[in-house]
Structure formats: C-alpha cells, structure tokens
Amino acid sequence: MIYLQQFDQISPIASSVSVLLMKHGAGADKTSLQSIGHLFHDVAVMVQRFSIPLNFHPLQVYDTALTFSPRLSFLCTMYQDKRFYGVMGDRIDDWGPTLLTSKLETTILCVAYSRDGKTVACGCADRTLNLFSTVTGKLVQSFSGSVGPILYVAFCPDGDTLITASSDKFVCTWSISGEKRVFAFKTGSFVLRSFAVCAQFDRYAIATDERVIKLFDLKTHKLLQTISGQEQVSRCLAFSPDAKLLVSGSETVVKVFSTETGELVQSFNGHSGSIHGIVVLPDNDMIASCSDDKSIRLWSMSTSKCLHVFNDHEDAVNAISVSSNGMMLVSASDDKNIKIFSVPKRKLVKTFTGHNTAAKSVAISPDGFTLASGAADLKVWSVTEKPAQVFEDDHSAAVTVVEFNPTNDICITGSADTTVRCWSMSSGRMILAFRAHSEAITALAFSAQGDLVASGDRSGRTLVWTLSTGEIVCSAHSNQTAVASIAFFPDGKKLACGHVQEPAFVHFLDSKPSKILATVFKQVSKVCVSRDNDTFAFATSEPRVKVFQCSDDDLWKSFKNHTHTIWDVAFSPDGTKIASVSEDKTVRVFDWARKTLLHTFAKTATTVGHSASVKSVSFKDNVTLITRDEDGVSFAWSLKGAEKDWKSVHAMDFANPRLHYAHLAEDGWIHCLGERLMWIPFELRGVMKARGNHIVLGSVFGVVTIIRVGRDP
C-alpha cells in the first residue's frame, strides 16, 4: 500500500504493480513468493474496489483501503498499526465476491459483457443504454433514444457496435465510438416479447404477441424465416452455438426449431410457470431454462429428457447465463440472489447476496472469472471469491436514521425492517433490538438524560421506551402520515413530533393527553426545542418557521421570510435566537421573542454565501453558526457585535470538535468543512452521523458500520 502510494507519484497505478514485482520478486524463496502472491491478489482486488480514490485522490486511498480491507487480508495484517480509522465490531475476514457496485435510478433489465470483459452494457427500464467500466465501476457512456424499455443487449464482434431490442418493437444498433444510434429497425406492429442474437453467424430472432417467431439477417435486416402456429407466446429465445437451432421458452414449454426449415425439432415439458430465460450450452446438446416456478431445468436434446432440476431459489428465476466452457450456470432471481451452479456436478456452488431489489439480469464474463448482475443497481462479482459474510446484528433492510445518546457511547439506528437497534460504539456490538414497530422507522430521538428513546414510524405511530430494557413507556398515534422529526424537551417529560402533511403534536409522558397543534403543515422537515422547556419550532415546506409554546394553545409566531422549503432549524444555546436554512440557499436568523428577522446571509456580488440548497444549521455557541449545503460546502457565520457587523468567518476556526460537521456526499466521500476525509464503498453508503471521534454509517443494504477516528492506541 505504501509502495503503491509512493510509486503513483511517478508512474500510473498499473505499472506500480510491475515495479513491486521487480523490487521484491528477484531472488525470493518459495515462502516469500507465496506471500508476494497473496500481496498481489490483495492489491488486484483493492485496485478494483478502490479505483475511484486511487485514480482521483491517490494520497487519500491509504486510510480508506486500510479501513475497509478485510481483517485477514495481507494489506490489513501487514499495516494494522498504520491505520488512522478503525472499524469497530465485526469485520469481514475476506474480500468477498462483490468487486463493484454502480447505482442507477432505474431497473437494469439486461446486461452483456464486451469481448475483452472490460465493459458491461446495461439495458434499462428508463429506456437508456448504459456502459460501465468493470475496472472502475464508472458510467463511461449513456445512450438515449429508445421509446420503450430495453429488453436485450449484446456486443457485436467488432467490439464497437451494440445491438438492442426494446418493447417499442424496434431493434437498434449503436456505435460506441460514434456515441449515437446508427440504425433502428421496426420489427412489426405487435409488441416484442423476446429476442436473441447470434452475431457470429449474422442472425437474430424475435418473438411477438402474435405468437410468431421471425429470423432476420443481422446486417441487412432481411426476413429469413417465419415460425408460426405457436400456441403460446415465446418469452425467451436462444440460438445454438452453430446457429442451426433456435430454442424458445413459452408459458411452460421449451421448444427447439430448425433455423433452416422453421420446423419443430423437439419439445420439452416440465415447468409449471412461465419460462423467463433459456440458454444452449456449448456442447450443442444441453439446454438450460429458468421459470416462475423457482426452478432451473437442464434438458438433453439427444435423449429428450430432463437431466436435472435445480430448486435452490426461493422466488421466480428471471435470467440465466452459461460460461463459455459450459461448466457453469448462473442465475438471477426475484429473491434478490445470484446463484452459481456446476453443470457436471449438478449442484449449487455459490450464492451471492447484496442486491436489495429483485435481480432481473445476469451475464458471465468471457474469461469466466467475473459475472455481472442487474437489479436497481449493477454488481460485478468475482466468481472465485468466497460468498460475503453476513452478520446477524445488521438490519435486513435499508437504514433510515442514526442518532447518538447524549450521555454515553451508545448510538441507535432505525431501519425499513421496522426495528431500532442499539449499538456500543466502543465495541461495535449490538446491545438491544427494539421490535415493537410494524412499519419502517422514520425518526429517532434521545431524551437529554439519555435513558429514553422515542421512535416514529411510517404509519404515524410514536413509541417512547427505555434504553436499558426496551420497555414501552408511552405510545401515541396520529392516525395520519409518517413521523418526520421528533425532539424531547429538556425535562424529558414531553416531546414534540412533526408529521408529513399533518398537524404537529406535543406528547406528554405523564399520561396527559397529546396536544394537537391546529395549524396544518404541508411537510415538517425538522423540529427543535428550546432550553426553556416550553418553546419549540418546526421547519416546514410552506415555507415557514413555526414557533409554539406548550403553555399556549395557539401558534405563537410564524416566520415567513424564506422563499422555498426550509430544511433545518435550530435554537441558540441561550434560547433567544432561531436560525433556519432553506432550499433558497439562504441562512436566516430570527429573534423569536421580538418576532423579528435579524439577518439574512446570502451570496451576492459582494458577499460570500451558499451556492446550493442549505441542508443543516447548528449553533456552536450563542454568536457562531455553522451551516452546510448539499454540495458539501460549509460556512461559519459570526453574530458578534451589531447586526451590521455579522459576517462569514472561516469555518475551521470554530470547528471543535470538527468531526461533528462531517457528512457523506453523493460522490462517496466523507467531507468535513471543505476537506475530504475518506472514501466510502458503495455498499456501506446511506445515512451518516458523526460525533466525537466516531462516524456511524447505515447503508441501503442494512449494514451498520462504526468507524473510530484516530490511531490505534
């Protein structure tokens, strides 16, 4: 790792490996060579996993790679004492199979490898065709122009042309170097249901709703053969390696046709559900098919029999692919899993987990060492690595919120799996799982004393319970929409709750009825309370800051000075001021007792300010504000002296402890007051919160990661 960093200053990362080999390989004994082999395996995987920081910020990859490298990896064991960041609690032993994860805001319906294995093409439900690098995981090219979702994609032998079929009845070819669609051929007036291409023999086939299969010349798009008289719609097609046969999978039947005569050669029955995927193995005899009935069947054309049934998936199997040597089948399923099967041994070899939605597509690389699968994200997996470890303490669905206990080293996480989990930050271990909710957790808060937790869910239910035992102290339900924000009052005897598009509530823990605030908000973004134990405020999308007092039944004050949604609001420690930040890129400070706007901080031709939506605000003390926008830019604002003297000051001067102001940006980096701290692998990204010398990450896959900042003692 250290050598890679040093050599990167004088040569590209790729050649650093060669330098290492020459430096340590000459004259090495067998044991040393094994260690070097172990090192290079780790380096190869590390370069793939952390290609983004390596290529763009090589000096910062050191802490990132050491933090997230597996516990037993050569890199981690050799340089354990060099780590500045440490992952607390359970840590994976080995690299696991996931090499890359790339997120798209759509479902990936089909995937295909380029002949060199360096690029994966993805056809998507949003009608785009996207190309990803399997080395860096970056989106390298995107094509639009398809009228319907892209159902099939393949690389042509020239390596520069892609062919796609979409539900809009068009077969299209795309030039990678030309960065455009070069040809579109309408296949008919019926909806296209399946497609197959045999680029080596310049053939492709389509099947439509009219229960007809048509064969075309790939270069001229001339109709070569029509196979009609089908009783069922063909849902998937595949050519034999020699292109002499075309195999069709329909509702429940697998049929084999001659591409020369169009005649039915063979028929296989056995599936009890619609067939979604079909492949012909390289031996030109075996056929594999997958179905809604959760099974994969292996058929022999020479014996006309079903050779084996794989019943290892728990839901419909959507796609299958076969390795170039015919030894391995891979499948993608609605159960979110990717499975690898041995054809000779007729058994399941590996199961890869990691998608958080149904897996719709899968393909094996030409060399057979990696595979790509598509769901709501694209994943590239190493076939040779062990399946990833699963830790029971983690959530089973996306983490939605993180909060810290104000009095000790405990943090809590809420999830879409309806649970709240309590963690020791010093050990990284879960100490309690609270399972009383029946809907996704949307808000959490600790009492000032740290002994009570309030949790709100998507149904509008709020529960107050003890941290030590999980015993419910108080329950309230608005019978309305999701809880958006919760805050305890300092005395710990009441809490304020804001809901999405509904009235706000004050819940009393001493059996008094909840107070419903009459004013209806469009949407509450944040609720905060004052130290006077009576006053509280809501940030809303109206956009207004609304201030209430528990001792008064009416709205005490509504400040409408922002022009767009207000994202955050905070009281000053002495309770005399309220600060709010908004989508309108401004920061506003109010004297709520006098009901007046004191100052607006905004970017102008002569003053500095935010250039993007401002997401958070906090008082460091009574005269200092720190704000952060969605681009990760932080500002500190001095409120000293007369209002006319208030101005922006350097945020670093007031950032103690500075980690409190860290946040996870969309680029995958944790930023803190304008500096990059570390890069976070995709599978660990989601919600983030920092306090003291700890960072807590809750991922969209339910994984909770607690990172200690500072060298090992």
Least confident of 374-383, 606-615, 659-668: 659-668
Domain boundaries, the chain: 32-83, 98-382, 399-709
Is the pLDDT reported for residue 8 higher than 70?
no
Give me the phi and psi of 134, to 5 degrees please.
-80, -10
Domain 98-382 belongs to what topology? Answer: Methylamine Dehydrogenase; Chain H (2.130.10)
Q: Judge contact between 384 and 402, C-beta under 8 A.
A: no
Q: What percent of the chain has pLDDT over 70?
A: 80
Which helix (H) or strand (E) segment holds residue 647: the answer is strand 647-649
pLDDT band at 654 (very low <50, low <70, confident <90, very high): very low
Q: What is the DSSP letter of 167?
A: T
pLDDT score recorded for residue 541: 79
Q: What value does the mean pLDDT take over residues 557-577?
A: 86
Q: What percent of the chain has pLDDT over 90?
A: 34
* DSSP labels, 169-237: SEEEEEETTTTEEEEEEE--SSPEEEEEEEGGGTEEEEEETTS-EEEEETTT--EEEEE---SS---EE
Domain 399-709 belongs to what topology? Answer: Methylamine Dehydrogenase; Chain H (2.130.10)
Residues 318-351 have pLDDT tens digits of: 999 999 889 999 999 999 999 999 999 999 998 9
Q: Judge contact between 55 and 13, C-beta under 8 A.
A: yes
Encoded tokens for 562? 């922002």
pLDDT score recorded for residue 498: 82
Is the pLDDT reported for residue 683 higher than 80?
no
Residues 163-205 have pLDDT tens digits of: 999 887 888 889 998 888 888 888 777 778 889 998 888 889 9
pLDDT score recorded for residue 31: 55
Residues 690-711 have pLDDT tens digits of: 888 888 999 887 889 888 877 5
**Fold identical between 98-382 and 399-709?**
yes
Residue 647, number of CB atoms within 10 A of its CB:
15
Residue 660 or 630, more confident? 630
Residue 106, number of CB atoms within 10 A of its CB:
16
pLDDT band at 538 (very low <50, low <70, confident <90, very high): confident
Is the pLDDT reported for residue 687 higher than 80?
yes
Encoded tokens for 140? 């390298």
Residue 527 or 7, more confident? 527
Residues 391-421 have pLDDT tens digits of: 567 888 889 999 999 988 899 999 999 999 9
Residue 136 or 20, more confident? 136
Encoded tokens for 9? 């200053």
pLDDT score recorded for residue 419: 96
Is the pLDDT reported for residue 3 higher than 80?
no
| CA dist 136 → 17, 48, 56, 491 (Å) | 17, 6, 11, 52
Least confident of 34-38, 441-445, 468-472, 653-657: 653-657
Residues 434-485 have pLDDT tens digits of: 999 999 999 999 999 999 999 999 988 899 999 999 999 888 876 668 888 8
HSE toward the beta carbon, residue 389, CA cutoff 13 A: 11
Residue 658 or 128, more confident? 128
pLDDT score recorded for residue 441: 96
Encoded tokens for 109? 């319906």
pLDDT score recorded for residue 11: 42
Residues 234-256 have pLDDT tens digits of: 899 999 999 999 999 988 899 99
With a CB cutoff of 8 Å and minimum separation 6, the contacts of 672 are: 634, 655, 658, 659, 661, 662, 663
pLDDT score recorded for residue 12: 47
Q: Judge contact between 688 and 698, C-beta under 8 A.
A: yes
pLDDT score recorded for residue 618: 87
Encoded tokens for 194? 């399946």
pLDDT score recorded for residue 7: 39
Are β-strands 624-629 and 614-621 bridged in parallel, bridged antiparallel, or unpaired?
Answer: antiparallel
Degrees, nearest 5: CA angle 59-616-646: 100
pLDDT score recorded for residue 636: 84
pLDDT score recorded for residue 543: 80
Residues 77-123 have pLDDT tens digits of: 666 665 566 676 665 666 667 777 877 788 999 999 998 888 999 99
* DSSP labels, 522-559: S-EEEEEE-TTSSEEEEEESSS-EEEEETT-SS--EEE
Q: How many separate helices (H) and strands (E) can be counted in the chain?
A: 6, 59
3-state secondary structure of 137: coil
Side chain identity at residue 309, one-letter code? V
The per-residue pLDDT of the chain, averaged, comes to: 82
